[in-house]
Structures are given as structure tokens and as C-alpha cells.
Amino acid sequence: MDLPLRPDEVLPHRPPFLLVDEVSALAPGVSARGCWRLSGDEAFFSGHFPGRPTLPGVLMVESLAQLGGIAVLADPRFTGRLPLFGGIDRARFRRQVVPGEVLDLEVSLSKLSARAGRGHGVASVGGELACEADLLFVIVDA
């Protein structure tokens, strides 16, 4: 696959729930790097929080999971499959992310079988850690 890669070429997600804008590095079945550019026009900012818009932590974790899904689905062994959340462990949020920032995403997969996998994701802004989590997923037929 040619890089940078558009996430909608791999993921079934579509706006407004496509939370990765670009994939800049990809090792199918192993790892991926990408970003989510937050314009401030996203609907959730108006309610989270009025006067102090902040990216919800759960959406940071979802963006990491989507990037991990790209790493899984780019592997030809998983054509026609769909990785779904099986669990989130050790999630930690280290800084707020606000409109206008770019959330840099990195995911590495540590285990991957025909039915499930495990990975670790890190989200940062300008080199400053914003979030990290261990991700568990199951792989089902699409």
C-alpha cells in the first residue's frame, strides 16, 4: 500500500466516526503510525466542555483502536474480517487535547492470531504524551 494512506481505504468507518486522517507508516499485522487533525468543528467539542473544549479521552482510545484496525486489516490474512474491541487495559490520559491540535498516533501489535490480538497505542501532541493504552481485540467476519 502506498503511503500516506487514506484510512477509509482500509477501515469500514466513515465520518463522523472516522477518527484517523492519515496513515504515515504501516507494517501490516505489526504496527502503524498516523494522525488525527482536530479542526475544532467536531460536534463533540461544543458539549465537552462549553468554554473549554477538550477531546474526550474515550475518543483518543478509539482513534488508537482504529489505527490498530488499519494495521490488522492491511495484512492479507484478514481480508474480509473486522477487528472489534475486546478490552482496554492500562489506559492513562496525560494531557488535554484541544481544537486545532494534531493527535499523533502509534500502535504496535504484540500478539495477532486468526481470532484475536493485542496491541499498545500511544497518542501524543507535539511529542508530548496525551494518552496510552493496551488494546485487546477480537477478529470477526465482516
Across the strands, what pairs with 139?
Answer: 83
CATH of the domain at 126: 3.10.129.10
- What is the overall mean pLDDT for the chain? 96
What would the pLDDT profile of 56-76 be if each residue is shown by its tens digit?
999 999 999 999 999 999 999
pTM: 0.97
Residues 6+ apart with CB under 8 A from 66: 7, 11, 13, 18, 19, 20
How many structural domains comprise the chain? 1
Q: Is 48 in the active site?
A: yes
- Between CA 33 and CA 56 the distance in angstroms is 21
Q: Which of 4, 6, 18, 48 is catalytic?
A: 48
**Is residue 1 a part of any domain in this protein?**
no
Q: Is 46 left (phi over 0), alpha (psi -120 to 50) or beta?
A: alpha
Domain of residue 73, residue span: 7-141
Query: Region 108-130: what's the mean pLDDT?
Result: 97
Across the strands, what pairs with 102?
Answer: 37
What would the pLDDT profile of 7-50 be if each residue is shown by its tens digit?
999 999 999 999 999 999 999 999 999 999 999 999 999 999 99
**Is residue 110 a part of any domain in this protein?**
yes
pLDDT score, position 136: 98
| pLDDT exceeds 90 at position 4 | no
**Is residue 2 a part of any domain in this protein?**
no
